[in-house]
């Protein structure tokens, strides 16, 4: 790799570690959150559909409901490890270094500033 090429990486943090971001870092984080959330949303939608499809068979529905809950939990943990705080499904808070915080909600690529 040449010296001219700049490689940007995002660190993964412990879940309980507080992290704050500049606006530029927060937008880089949004790119990663978008990828993680897209993958999770596809699985969550699939499991939700299977749960509804098997609604007349409680044992089958229960299996897919458990998978659905597990996938939601995985999404939450991944977003926390990246440094964001889940507010609701597909919506996160990103603490700002300047004070206040940003919010991001899938599928947007924009951040909202909250003082």
72 vs 7: which has the higher pLDDT: 72
Contacts of 79 (CB under 8 A, 6+ apart): 33, 36, 37, 85, 86, 92
31: in domain? yes
Q: pLDDT of 51-100, one tens digit each?
A: 999 999 999 999 999 999 999 999 999 999 999 999 999 999 999 998 99
102: in domain? yes
Three-state SS for 18? coil
64: in domain? yes
84: in domain? yes
36: in domain? yes
The confidence score (pLDDT) of residue 62 equals 96
The confidence score (pLDDT) of residue 2 equals 45
Q: pLDDT of 31-58, one tens digit each?
A: 999 999 999 999 999 999 999 999 999 9
What's the domain range around 34? 23-114
Domain count, the chain: 1
CA–CA gap between residue 76 and residue 62 (Å, rounded): 21
């Amino acid at each position: 790799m040449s010296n001219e090429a700049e490689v940007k990486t995002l660190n993964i943090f412990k879940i309980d570690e507080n992290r704050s971001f500049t606006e530029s870092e927060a937008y880089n984080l949004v790119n990663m959150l978008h990828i993680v959330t897209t993958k999770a949303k596809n699985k969550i939608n699939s499991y939700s559909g299977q749960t509804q499809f098997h609604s007349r068979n409680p044992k089958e529905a229960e299996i897919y409901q458990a998978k659905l809950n597990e996938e939601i939990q995985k999404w939450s943990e991944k977003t926390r490890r990246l440094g964001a705080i889940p507010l609701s499904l597909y919506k996160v808070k990103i603490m700002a270094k300047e004070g206040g915080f940003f919010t991001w909600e899938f599928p947007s690529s924009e951040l909202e500033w909250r003082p």
